Amino acid sequence: MIVKLENIFKVYGESGTETSVPALNDVSLTVDKGEYVAIMGPSGSGKSTLMNVIGCLDKPTSGKYIFEDKDVLKLKDRQMSDLRLNSIGFVFQSFYLMNEENAIENVALPLSYAGVPKKEREKRAIDALTRVGLADRVKFRPDQLSGGQKQRVAIARAIVNNPKVLLADEPTGALDQKSGAAIMDLFQKLNDEGTTIIMITHDANIASHAKKTYRIVDGRLYDGLEQEVDDEKDN
Q: Sketch the domain layout of the chain as residue ranges.
A: 3-234
Q: Which of 8-17, 19-28, 90-99, 131-140 has the lowest mean pLDDT?
A: 8-17
Percent of the chain with pLDDT strictly greater than 90: 89
Q: Model's pTM, two decimal places?
A: 0.91
The angle at the Cα of 126, spanning 123 to 130, to the nearest 5 degrees, equals 140
- For the chain, the farthest-separated pair of C-alpha atoms sits apart, in whole angstroms, at 60
Model confidence at 4: pLDDT above 90? yes
The angle at the Cα of 184, spanning 40 to 143, to the nearest 5 degrees, equals 110
The CATH homologous superfamily to which domain 3-234 belongs is: P-loop containing nucleotide triphosphate hydrolases (3.40.50.300)
- Mean pLDDT over 157-182 rounds to 94
Q: What is the pLDDT of residue 235?
A: 45
Distance CA 56, CA 167 (A): 11
> pLDDT tens digits, residue range 201-226?
999 999 999 999 999 999 999 997 55
